[in-house]
Structure 1
Amino acid sequence: MDRSWRRAAIVALPFVLAWAAVLAAFAVLRDRLPDPLASHVGPGGQADGFTGLGAFLPVVTTLLLLSGLLAAAAAHRSWRTGLGAWRMLLATGYGTAAMLAYDFVALLGANADAARAADVTFPLWHLAVSLAVAGAVGWAGWLLAGRGPAPAGEPDAAAGSRLPLAEGEAAVWTHSVGSPVLAVVGAGCTLLGVVLAAVTAAAAVTAEAVLIAAGVISVALCRCRVIADRRGLSVAPWFAPRPRLRIPLERIEKATSREAHALGLGGWGYRIQPGRRALVLRSGDALFLRLVTGKEFVVTVDDAATAAALLNTLIERGRPAPGT
């Protein structure tokens, strides 16, 4: 098994173990559980949402194993990232799996021996314990990362390259780029939100609405078109010319290109970091813009070297000649 598949297995393992723990708890408590189950509680800890006993395990299985699959895919596709990103992925995956396992098992325990699901209460101190468990197991995942592999070296950047243009000649560079990760995550979140909304008769469907909204946004951003021309750089979603992210040419100091890894840039989607903004759709070729403010904007897109060369040429053309 090569390193990428080993990483995928290590990240997926806690989700499989969490699923097995919930399955075991359900089997032990099966004869003591009401039908339907209390599956959602309000701010006071009183049950206000319910799920049929037969639907509970399919929902849990979908949530845990789909999450594990997505985490494993991220680890497999980004195995060349450095130690910091690898540790963060492990800590997040292990902590999330542990928190979900505790919450589901504690919820089953709260339902045990209840005459009616409506009578179930879920003391809110469970939330504190859940966070503590997530933190402890997440820290274990962080330590499990160990020293990690050495960060992969980056190819030489096309630093300050130019695209030859005749005087007065105009040029436009455009390329579309998609993200299988965002497409799968978006579809998974939307499906899970719809399933939970359908099987949970809750007065408030906040969690389900958040899942559906996050899924729709992910699908909307899973493919974009990137354009470089005399106005600067612009990025628009695949389905419409607006909304559009635009960086005017006068705000760009220099453009370069090089290989980048999604986790090394903070993960998939629109990432905000100190001194940097990035639209990350996948690992691979990326366009790096150094802005006049000293900050950086990054977008992952194929043929980024041509876009960088064109932007550098247009920036140079727009600068006043020496002595003027």
Structure 2
Amino acid sequence: MNQSPRRTLVVVLPFALACAAVVTTYAALRDRLPDPLATHFPASGRADGFSGAGSFVGVAVALLAVQGAVFAVLAHRTSRSLGSLRPLIACAYGESGLLGYAFPATLFANADVPDAADVRFPMWQLAVALACALPAGAVGWLLAGADARSADRPAGEPHRLPLGKGEVASWTRTVTSRVLLAVGAALVGAGAILAFAVNPGSGLPMTIMGVISVLLSACRVTVDRRGLTVTPPVVRRPRLRVPLGRIEEATSRPVDAFGDFGGWGYRIRAGRSGLVMRSGDALCLRLTTGKEFVVTVDDARTAAALLNTLVDRGAGRPADAS
């Protein structure tokens, strides 16, 4: 089987099973459920939010389908081996295991209760849901298999950008992560569905996470006499700066977001870290600490050449860690 369809099938499978569990449970309990259902429970376990039985099942299936689609797209877009996607697959299986228990458990809690206001959902149910998520994630990890990918691709040769005496230069590019943008949009949409189908407060956390993801789905990368600066294009914070005094050498090389760093966003691996917005060309800095810092951005070779020139000239060395 071609690797890409196999990756997609392995990632989608747990969400399909969770959807089947929700639909099967609803079909079995349909005649024993009150209408509306109790669907939201605070720490006391006493119901304080309600929705129609059909709408609850529809929202549950929609949330599982959307999450399955997002994970499937992430798995499909990379050309790396299935083993290199272990963190993604384990997360997908853990998430589907948690929701695949929580949604049917909510239906069972409502069964044979005449008034939904009398439904109780004790907090130990959440512990059971987490207990289901952990082995499900382990199954995903095992199904992914070992990472058989080759060693990281070596960085290119360091280059210099010729500058005359007293001449100054700067370089800037904006890079957008379609993955983070899609995840943010999906979270906002899911939060809106929850707010409409259950109650406004239930969808607020997911909506906030989605908005943050959208705001941080792009960054502006700048190289100048101060070193390397990365900021969001819409808001000024958070800002990341690597001053020239911390840089030994700059090069460029292709980077695979999942294969090399296990995902998107700010990533930390053994001996290296980076802001990985997408797969492709990346600016790679060898720091004075011996570690590596990576930023994925177009035209990284020019950025590396300018940084090397500025480092050689000894320009802009104040220890600005802002």
> What is the percent sequence identity of the aligned residues?
54
**Structure 1 residues 33 and 146, CA gap change in structure 2 (3 angstroms):** same
* Residue of structure 2 equivalent to 1:317: 313
TM-aligned CA deviation for residue 287 of structure 1: 1.4
Q: How far does the alpha carbon of each residue in 1:226-267 deviate from its partner, in whole angstroms, 9 at most, with x for none?
A: 111111111122324554322222222222221112123131
Q: How far does the alpha carbon of each residue in 1:143-201 deviate from its partner, in whole angstroms, 9 at most, with x for none?
A: 112235x3145444124322222222222111111111111110110111122122223
d(CA) in 2 for partners of 1:118, 1:196:
20
Matching of residue 236 in structure 1 with residue 231 in structure 2: yes
TM-aligned CA deviation for residue 44 of structure 1: 2.2
TM-aligned CA deviation for residue 124 of structure 1: 2.4
* Residue of structure 1 equivalent to 2:155: 157
Q: Secondary structure at the match of 2:87?
A: helix
Which of 177, 195, 199 pairs up with 2:175?
177
C-alpha contact 2:85 2:262 (8 A) present in aligned 1: no
- 136-145 vs 99-108, greater mean Cα deviation: 136-145
C-alpha contact 1:190 1:216 (8 A) present in aligned 2: yes
Letter of the 1:235 counterpart: V
d(CA) in 2 for partners of 1:2, 1:224:
35
* Residue of structure 1 equivalent to 2:194: 196
1:230-309 correspondence to structure 2 within 5 Å: 230-263=225-258, 264-273=260-269, 275-309=271-305
- 294-303 vs 108-117, greater mean Cα deviation: 294-303
- Gap runs ≥5 in structure 2: 316-322
Matching of residue 74 in structure 1 with residue 65 in structure 2: no
Q: How far does the alpha carbon of each residue in 1:120-158 deviate from its partner, in whole angstroms, 9 at most, with x for none?
A: 11132222221221111211111112235x314544412
Normalising by structure 1, report the TM-score.
Answer: 0.90
Q: Secondary structure at the match of 1:174?
A: strand
d(CA) in 2 for partners of 1:55, 1:82:
36
Matching of residue 61 in structure 1 with residue 61 in structure 2: yes
Letter of the 1:315 counterpart: V
What is the CA RMSD across the aligned residues, in angstroms?
A: 2.1
Letter of the 2:145 counterpart: G
Letter of the 2:273 counterpart: R
TM-aligned CA deviation for residue 295 of structure 1: 3.6
Q: Secondary structure at the match of 1:307?
A: helix
* Residue of structure 1 equivalent to 2:320: none
C-alpha contact 1:255 1:311 (8 A) present in aligned 2: yes
d(CA) in 1 for partners of 2:235, 2:41:
40
Normalising by structure 2, report the TM-score.
Answer: 0.90
Letter of the 1:144 counterpart: L
TM-aligned CA deviation for residue 299 of structure 1: 1.3
TM-aligned CA deviation for residue 88 of structure 1: 1.7
d(CA) in 2 for partners of 1:187, 1:40:
24
d(CA) in 2 for partners of 1:137, 1:241:
40
- Aligned pair count reads 315
* Residue of structure 2 equivalent to 1:322: none
* Residue of structure 2 equivalent to 1:9: 9
Q: Secondary structure at the match of 2:48?
A: strand
C-alpha contact 1:190 1:212 (8 A) present in aligned 2: yes
Q: Secondary structure at the match of 2:207?
A: helix
